[in-house]
A and B are shown apart, each in its own frame.
Chain A
Amino acid sequence: MSRGFLNGGVVTTGLAVACLGAAIGVHVDRERRYPARRQVTESLLYIPSGEALKRMALSYDALLADVYWIRAVQHFGGTRLAKRAIKSYDLLYPLLDITTTLDPQFNIAYRFGAIFLSEVYPNGPGKPDLAVKLLQKGFAANPRRWEYLHDIGFVYYWWVRDFQAASTWFARASQVPGAPEWLAGTAARTLAVGGDRQSARAMWQQIYETSEIAYMKDNARFYLGQLQAMDDLESLNAALARVEALEGHPPTSWSALAARGWLRRVPPVDPSGWPYQVNRETGRAELSPKSEFYPLPADMPAGTPSAPPGASTQAGS
């Protein structure tokens, strides 16, 4: 190889690298000068049939199911966190349906999928009926999985507030071979004292303690925190109402309660550590908008009537 050829090669390579560097520079400059407007593109389901996809996937259907599962998680998470006025979760059920058609044993897709579908708008599509449909599909494919029937019961209990149906599904779950013994008790308790907060707490506690899936544990911890915050607010509001009755005007801060020694901690904090606030107009205790548990759902179960005001850890009156 001649020296001239080598030199020529080095020059050509140098020229190519320089051209590439210049092209990148022009591209960066263009992006800086003319920033492209962010395009909001609707996600598409190019092939809506899970059965058709299963055939096209040849023997790689489980891998394709993973891809669709990732799409479902991204669609749910992306829509939930998006700062759009109107959020559309329209693709969530079709994506989950395709995932579970491609891989009928995809346990998490049924269980997480039902949680995603049940979440009330705007945190989710608010479609408990579709959650039940997905779980029923899961049980049809895996008749030994009592968890799916339990989850259907829970959807009826927590999201639909149909305690009769919830109890029926818990009872059905308890009859599946291998189901835990506590399910029969849950079915009976749901029928007896369905809507109270105490039984809701017991239910979430059960899920928290028995679930081996980190996401479901976190979910249960979140709702236990919300229930605790509701208990706290109830007792704090009872104490604030007593102060208003004594002083003749609504209190505007925690100092009135603190002065009477009715607070164990000033300011009182929610389970995530954020201080509760006193609304200056209404004189009522509220959850901080910065709290992990904000907002509290409007139709949460009522507190147990027998629980005395101030029984919580926050207000000690």
Chain B
Amino acid sequence: MSPGTVMRVARAVFKESVRDRVLYNLVGFAILLIGASYLIGQLTAGQDVKIIKDLGLAAMSVFGLFIAIFIGIGLVSKEVEKRSVYSLLAKPVRRSELVVGKYVGLVLTVLVNLAVMAVVVYAVLGYMDWKEIPEVKRAWEAPATDPRLLIAMFLIFFELMLVIAIALFFSTFSSPMLSAAFTFGLFVAGQFSADLKNFEMAVESKAAATIARGLYYILPNFAVFDVKSAVVHGQPLAAAVIANSVIYGSLYISALVLLAVVIFSRRDFK
């Protein structure tokens, strides 16, 4: 696999998403956050910084999720449906390079999105910090422009990379509609993994409990990437736990991308 070819495909995907006006969502995000920072101050009793942090991180995750799912599901299947895959495969590009390049391209798009959103979040929080008096600031659980927010943003990025990998995986053998349903389904199921683990407490059937326990380990566990609340409340985060989440995410993503490569390589387009 040639890294140069992968990057060329990735650049093409990034350019296409820019052409598709994906980055327009950033305007919506900025308006949402700036508008909310004004309105929330009027609505709640001195919790505006906490709420802006919650809102900023949640919006980054949701906006990123939509991009990851709705572009991710079309990465390969759109090429097949539009039959443009023939002209692509006629070029000196390996199927594996095409799949990995598509993945890297969308990851790049999401990364640029998250980076701009992070700047907007910090700008709004910086403004709130600037206008507030020191007495009020002392009551905050964490500083407004807490650098630890970057940890939460970094793990959101990892979460989205995993979502893109899932979407890409389904995109190699399924229609966009089904891929979207499967990806979103796995994302939701991945949030309930703790319930699957403790399923034996809810059911008497040992077989059902074993299946649930098996699903707990097989399904992607998205809860490991969620440190939003801990960061907002200024709670300590162990570096080892973050490292564990990153390693888990990297391995799971690698597995999905490799499976996507295998499936796509074996597909017969005749």
Contacts and interface: CB of A to CB of B under 8 A. Distances in A.
Given A61-B229, A62-B228, A63-B58, A214 B191 contact: no
Name which of B47, B55, B61, B136 has the most chain A CB atoms within 10 A of its CB: B47
Nearest to B159: A59
Interface string B228-254: 110011010000000000000000000
A55 interface: yes
Interface in B124-172: 135-136, 138-139, 141
Given A66-B55, A214-B135, A214-B139, A59 B226 contact: yes
Interface stretch (A68-76, A197-205, A296-304): A68-76
Nearest to A211: B139
B122 interface: no
Interface stretch (B38-46, B92-100, B105-113): B38-46
B54 A59 contact: no
Contacts of A215: 45-46
Contacts of B46: 108, 213-215
A10 B45 CA distance: 50
Interface residues of A, number: 23
B255 interface: no
Contact of A66 (B47, B188, B195, B226): B47
A112 B45 contact: yes
B118 interface: no
A25 to B, nearest CB: 29
Interface residues of B, number: 31
A282 B184 CA distance: 74
Interface string A67-106: 0011001100000000000000000000000000001010
A62 B136 contact: no
Given A63-B58, A212-B139, A73 B229 contact: no
A66 B54 CA distance: 8
A60 interface: yes
Contacts of A65: 54
Interface of B is mostly: helix
A58 B191 contact: yes
Contacts of B45: 73, 108, 112, 215
B228 A59 contact: yes
Nearest to B187: A58
A287 B50 CA distance: 39
Contact of B54 (A55, A63, A212): A63
Contacts of A58: 187-188, 191
Nearest to A58: B191
A212 B51 CA distance: 18
B70 interface: no
B225 to A, nearest CB: 8
Contacts of A103: 229
Nearest to B52: A66
Interface of A: 55, 58-63, 65-66, 69-70, 73-74, 103, 105, 107-108, 112, 212-215, 217
19 contacts: A55-B192, A59-B191, A60-B61, A61-B229, A62-B229, A66-B50, A70-B40, A73-B45, A105-B229, A105-B233, A107-B233, A108-B45, A108-B46, A112-B45, A212-B135, A213-B139, A214-B46, A214-B136, A215-B46
Given A62-B54, A107-B141, 6 more contacts: A65-B54, A66-B47, A69-B47, A108-B45, A212-B136, A214-B135
